[in-house]
Amino acid sequence: MKFLAFFGHLNIDVTLSVPSLPSPGQATGVKALREKFAGTAGNFAYVANALGLKFDLYSAVGEISHEKYLANLKKVGINTEHVDIMKEENGPICYLPSDGREQIAYMFQGPMNNWEASKHFEYGNYTFLNIGTGPVKEYMKILDREKKAKVVFDPGQEIWYTYNKESAEYMVNHSNMIIMNRKEFYHLLELLNTDSAAVYKTVNNIIITEGEKGATLIENGESTLMPGIKPDRIADTIGAGDSFRAGLFTALSNGYTLKDSVSIGNITASKAIENNINEFNLNFQDILKLFKTIKS
C-alpha cells in the first residue's frame, strides 16, 4: 500500500507588477512580469520531494500552458503519472496584478473545471488521501468508493467559493482529519451552521494553521497550540501552508506522532519561505536536526 495521494492544483502564477491597480475603464503599463510554477499541489510536491516523501500527485493541466512545468517536475524527480494532461488546453493559470501594496487575483481554472478525478484514482491503495483544491463533486464520488484511506479534508481558499452546506457536511462526515487556517475554519462553521465543538466530535484530528504563530492541533477535542519558529529571512510566504503539509506528512510517514508531526510541519514552513518554494533543498534529516534542537 502507498502512503499518500495528494489532490490539488498545479497552477502557473503570473505576477504583473504595475504602478497602481487601475479603476474600471482605465489602463496601466506592466513594469515586470514573473511566471512561477505554483498551486497547492505544486508547492507541496516540490517541498515533499526534497524531504524524501513518497506520494502520488493528482491534478489536471493543459498541455499547451504546462509543458515546461511538467518537465520541471520530472527533472527534480516528481512522479506525474497521475496528472491528467489535457490536449490543446491551457491552465490552470492565476494572473496576479500587484502594485506592491494591493493585489488582485484572476484564476483561470482551465482543465480543473472538467477534470474527472474519480475515474483514474487508485482506490484502496493509500494510507492517507489528502483532498485539496479541485472539483468538489468528483472528490465526493471518490469518497463514496474509498473505504481504506484516512481522509484529510484540506480545501484551502476554495472553501469560500466551491463548497455549500451540503458538500461541506459530506466532506466533514467522511474525513479523519481537517487542515485549514483560522479564517477558513470559521467559514466552514458558518457553512455548516454549527459550532466548533460539534465538528470536534465528528472529526478526531483537526489542524488549524495560525501563520507565524504556528498551528493549533485539536485531538479528540483537546486543543494545543504548537508554536512556529521564526525564519532567518522571508523571501516569499506564498506556499507556506503547502510546505507545512509536506513536513507534516513526511513526519507521519516516518512514524512520528501527530503532535510532533505538526511541529515538524511548522519548522518546514519556516525554512521553506526563506527562498522560493520550488527551490527548497533541505532533506528530512536537516529538518529533524532543528526539531530535536527545539524539542530539547
Which residues fall within 8 angstroms of residue 221, CB to CB, at 6 or more apart?
197, 200, 201
Measured CA to CA, the distance from residue 61 to residue 1 in angstroms comes to 27
Residue with cell 484529510: 152
- Is the bond preceding 19 in cis, omega lying within 30 degrees of 0? no
Residue 221 φ/ψ region, left for φ over 0, alpha for ψ in the -120 to 50 degree band, beta for the rest? left
Which residues fall within 8 angstroms of residue 111, CB to CB, at 6 or more apart?
60, 61, 62, 84, 86, 89, 91, 92
Integer angstrom CA distances of residue 138 from 117, 119, 276: 6, 9, 32
- Judge contact between 139 and 170, C-beta under 8 A: no
- Judge contact between 79 and 28, C-beta under 8 A: no
Question: Phi/psi of residue 2, each to 5°?
Answer: -80, 160
Integer angstrom CA distances of residue 143 from 131, 136, 140, 148, 157: 10, 11, 5, 10, 21
DSSP annotation of 21 reads P
Measured CA to CA, the distance from residue 276 to residue 242 in angstroms comes to 13
User: What are the start-end ranges of the E strands in the chain?
Assistant: 2-7, 12-17, 32-37, 56-62, 83-86, 93-98, 106-108, 126-131, 150-153, 177-181, 205-209, 214-219, 222-227
Strand partners, 93: 12, 108
**Active-site positions?**
242
